[in-house]
Structures are given as structure tokens and as C-alpha cells.
Structure 1
Amino acid sequence: MPNTGDTFLVTLKKTHLGWGTHRKTNSRPHISNEGYIPIPVKYARSFNITNMHNKKQSNVYKFSTSDGFLKDKELKASGNSIKGNIYAKNLHGNGDLKLLGTWFNHLQLQVGDVIKIEFVSPIEILLTKV
């Protein structure tokens, strides 16, 4: 589980901003406004950000954005780079894949923009556009 004060930065790419439409496969219909935040593996491991395969801790975090656009919502840590691995590779709205996309659109984020992910407690995240 992350510690209070654990922080990392990510630079957004086209796939993060347009997850539902910028896809390598046609495994599902294109859906606009979906978005996610990648978790670099070094931070997933060092901060112990895990997915559903780790039964010892939750992979759902309460979060807000520093601009106040989103408050007390939920992000889910999911995915992995190796099948069965417990370390998550992305954050997305828990049950709402458009949640981050609405914030990205509100801020008019573009490829190359940087997001700060800060754990204000082991179970709560603050997102900030840098």
C-alpha cells in the first residue's frame, strides 16, 4: 500500500487521452471520452500499487483533483505487464472509464501534458495538472 506523500509524474500520450478510441485492436466498439493514467512499473513496485490479484489490499482509491473539478470519486488500479503479476499498470475510474476523460476534457489536456499523482494517504490520491 502506498505511503502518505508518495508522488510520481506521468506524461500523457494519445492512448491515455483517448483510451476508448485510440486502440490497437477492434476488440470492442470505440467509445469517446475514456481515459486513464499509466503507472510506471518502478512506482507500482516501490509504492506497492497493486491490482485485483493482490488479495491483501484494495486496488480502489478515493481521489480528487486539485482544481476541484472531481471530488471524492474512486480510481481503480488495474492491469499488469505480466499475466498474474500483482502490480498495477494504470489508474481509471472505478466503474466509469469516462471519469478521467471528463477531467482531461475539462482541462483541455493534450499529448505531452504532465499529471502529478500524489498519495495524500495510503488510500487517497490527489491529481494535479503540472
Structure 2
Amino acid sequence: MPKAGDTFTIELKKSHLEWGTHRYKYTRKRIHGEGYLPIPRPLAKSLSIFNRNHRNGGYICNCSSSDGFLKDVSLKAAGCNKRGDVYAKQFQGNGNLRIIGSWFNAIRATEGDCVKITWISPTDIIIEKI
């Protein structure tokens, strides 16, 4: 499980910014405004960030953004790179898949921008466009 001080930085791609519409699989209706924060697999492994496929899965954290747009929103670690994998590949809104997309819109995020994710406790993170 992550601890205070753990951090990583990701570079945003089109699929992160336009998750609801820019899809390689069309298993559901296209929805504008969705977005997610990717979790590199080596990092998910080293920090033990599991998805629901793991018996201790379903990692949920409180997220705030350094700019104040997001305040204690619930994100969950979800997705996997291949069927049955226990390591999460992304943070997404817990029940609201548009929450990250709303933040991307508010900060005018574009492909190539970087986001830093920092744990301030095992269950609280701060995200920041850098």
C-alpha cells in the first residue's frame, strides 16, 4: 500500500484525456467528458495498488488537486493490462467517470502535459499539473 511521500509523474495521452470517446474497443456507448490517470504497472506492483481482481483489491483514495478544483473526491484504482491481472492500471472516479475529465478541462490539459501524483497518507493523494 502506498505511504505518505510516495509520488510519480505521468505524461497525458489522448486516451487519458478523452477516455469516453477515444477508445480502441467499443464495448459501451461513447461518453464525453471522461478521463483517467494512468498508473504504470511497475509502480502499481511496487506500491501494491490492486484492482478488484485481487483479494485486497478495490483500492480507493481521496483526491484533491493542488489548484483547488478537486477537494476530497473519491478515486478508485481499476482496470488491468490483461484479463485477470491484479494490478490496477488507472485511477478513475469512484462512481463518477467524468470527475478526472472535468479537472482536465478546468486545467486545460493537453496531450503531452504531465501530472504529478503524491500521497500525503496511505489513502489521500494530491494531483498537480506540472
2:32 and 2:69 mapped to 1: Cα distance?
Answer: 19
Aligned to 1:101: 101
Report deviation, 1:81: 1.6
Report deviation, 1:117: 0.7
Change (3 A) 1:102 1:85: same
Change (3 A) 1:30 1:82: closer
Runs of 4+ in structure 1 over 4 Å off: none
Report deviation, 1:26: 2.4
SS at match of 2:20: coil
Letter in 1 for 2:91: L
The runs of 5 or more residues in structure 2 that have no matched partner are: none
SS at match of 1:96: coil
The two structures have a TM-score, normalised by structure 1, of 0.95
Cα deviations across residues 50-104 of structure 1 (Å, max 9, x unaligned)?
A: 1112233541111100111010111010111232222100001000000000000
What value does the CA root-mean-square deviation take over the aligned residues? Answer: 1.1
The two structures have a TM-score, normalised by structure 2, of 0.95
Q: How many residues align?
A: 130
Aligned to 1:15: 15
The runs of 5 or more residues in structure 1 that have no matched partner are: none
Task: Quote the sequence identity (%).
Answer: 46
Q: Is the 8 A contact 2:58 2:76 kept in 1?
A: no
- 54-63 vs 70-79, which deviates more? 54-63
Aligned to 2:81: 81
